[in-house]
Structure 1
Amino acid sequence: MCTIRKIQFVLACVGLSLLPGSLVLAEGSNTEFFNGQDFTGWVTEKGMPVEQGWEVVDGMVHLKRAKGERRVGHILTTSQHENFELEFEWKLTEGTNSGIKYRVRNYEGKILGCEYQINDETKTRFDEHSTAALYALYPPNDQKVLKPTGEFKHGKIVVQGNRIQHWLNGKLVVDVEVGSEDWKERVANSKFDNRAGFGENPEGQIMLTDHGGEIWYRNLTYRKLD
């Protein structure tokens, strides 16, 4: 909280202010991630500027495509991210499927990465395709508690070396070691079995996905870790 107050003071001195829901710059942060005002530092999968479907409103990232409409596509950072902590809040519309990918890289023409899965769930699920799962590999544990559709939930991704953690509403729900025998076995038994070294790259881009439906992100807090 002290760090945030210092930032607010500095911004006030130069005539700026934090937008509601904007990026909070924690100590060690990387401003290339998201500036809270526009998509500087972000591109489409084809490397083009973000101009359709996605928007920044009052500091919030919004995928405004309605369910059933044609997808506008994922967006991703131009910068590479290695060890980091990313906190965020999100809400979505009924039936929406989305997620945040990290350690994203090109696998022979396919852009893939580890994913913090986000789904609209009418009933809390605990499988590897449910909210807060490490998509297709690790399900969330029994500490998972969701809030109703339309309410903001709190998530956190921590990536440091070979360790990945997913947090949901203040609870640690996924805690894994990348490259372990368990990891390799799960990858071999997943849709990523033909992607050599999947998720083992120490750095990569961060991606917001468009899998169907409308989603909002706010209070994005990014911190680079040693």
Structure 2
Amino acid sequence: MKKPLLFIALTAVFACKDKPKENKEEVQEEMTEVVEEKEPEWTTLFDGTSFDGWHMYNGGEVTEPWKLEDGAMVFYPMEERPEGANYNLVTDEEFTDFVLTLDWKIAEGGNSGFFWGVKEGEEYGQPYVTGPEIQVLDDERHPDAKNGEDRLAGSLYDIVPPSEKVVKPAGQWNSVELMINHKTNQGHVILNGTKIVEFPLEGPEWDKLIANSKFADWEDFAAFKTGKIGLQDHGNKVAFRNIMIKEL
């Protein structure tokens, strides 16, 4: 016997109403999973209690003249420094695309910095041979501040000067964000909440910047997209804390 047309129509309507609801829920679950997978997370590189995750550049575990004080790693100048010795620090891990945040405090008349894209090896005596540097400086007292605006605190050292002077005086904490993103060919520095430096990471504009810097003839300078984060021993007292990284 043939089923009534009304019964068939109602059955089809209810079936259609149920199916999209299930599909919508499934799609929402899948979208949530994708968002969760893509959302980058912050990783602590220095938690203020140990030097875990760091070592001396081209060397072993972190020792003096670096010390842990009040949640910070502090470099103390040595009265008698062995000839040729350097006490730069680098991370155990390497990074490519990331946002790095940290606080720094420089002593009066002090000079230091931090790097990215650092490589270790016997052929490299210092992190700055390979890694570009974000300047840490007492602008008021250190003579390097008079050697050009691209030597001021927060600059991409000897390459891009800060657009504004927002650095706090020596002895006070400064908060900085460094973004390096090769996917978008963008880098920037935010110092104390203000974006003061922007730069590409490759291409004609970057090549021109390097050609006009002291690094023009440095074969391996900024040559590595993937490298370590470094903290500089420049012979002056400096402190770093709250070091975090988010890979992009």
TM-score interval (norm. to shorter):
0.7 to 0.9
Runs (4 or more) in structure 1 with deviation over 4 Å come to 123-126
Q: Which residue of 1 aligns with 2:116?
A: 102
The count of corresponding residues between Structure 1 and Structure 2 is 197
Q: Which residue of 1 aligns with 2:161?
A: 139
> What's the TM-score once normalised by structure 1's chain length?
0.78
Report % sequence identity: 30
- Match for residue 178 of structure 1 among 201, 224, 231: 201
Note the C-alpha offset of 1:27: 5.7
Bigger CA radius of gyration: 2
Q: Which residue of 2 aligns with 1:151?
A: 172
- Match for residue 118 of structure 1 among 133, 136, 140: 136
Aligned pairs (5 A) from 1:82-93? 82-93=96-107
Note the C-alpha offset of 1:100: 0.6
* CA distance in structure 2 between the partners assigned to 1:156 and 1:199 by the alignment: 19
- Letter of the 1:80 counterpart: E
Q: Which residue of 2 aligns with 1:77?
A: 91
Higher share in strand: 1
Note the C-alpha offset of 1:55: 1.7
- Match for residue 163 of structure 1 among 159, 166, 186: 186
* CA distance in structure 2 between the partners assigned to 1:155 and 1:69 by the alignment: 32
What are the superposed Cα offsets for residues 177-209 of structure 1, whole Å, 9 maximum, x if unpaired? 111212112212322222336324221100000
* CA distance in structure 2 between the partners assigned to 1:189 and 1:128 by the alignment: 11
Which consecutive residues of structure 1, in runs of 5 or more, have no partner in the other structure? 1-25
What are the superposed Cα offsets for residues 29-57 of structure 1, whole Å, 9 maximum, x if unpaired? 335x3343211221112221111211222
8 Å contact 1:76–1:206 — kept in the other structure? yes
Which consecutive residues of structure 2, in runs of 5 or more, have no partner in the other structure? 1-38
Note the C-alpha offset of 1:129: 1.2
Q: Which residue of 2 aligns with 1:223?
A: 246
Note the C-alpha offset of 1:127: 1.2
Does residue 191 in structure 1 map to residue 214 in structure 2?
Answer: yes
Note the C-alpha offset of 1:92: 1.5
- Letter of the 1:150 counterpart: G
* 1:102 counterpart SS class: strand
8 Å contact 2:155–2:162 — kept in the other structure? yes
* 1:30 counterpart SS class: strand
Taking a change above 3 Å as real, the CA distance of residues 219 and 45 of structure 1, as seen in their structure-2 partners, is closer
8 Å contact 1:164–1:176 — kept in the other structure? yes
> What's the TM-score once normalised by structure 2's chain length?
0.71
Note the C-alpha offset of 1:63: 0.8
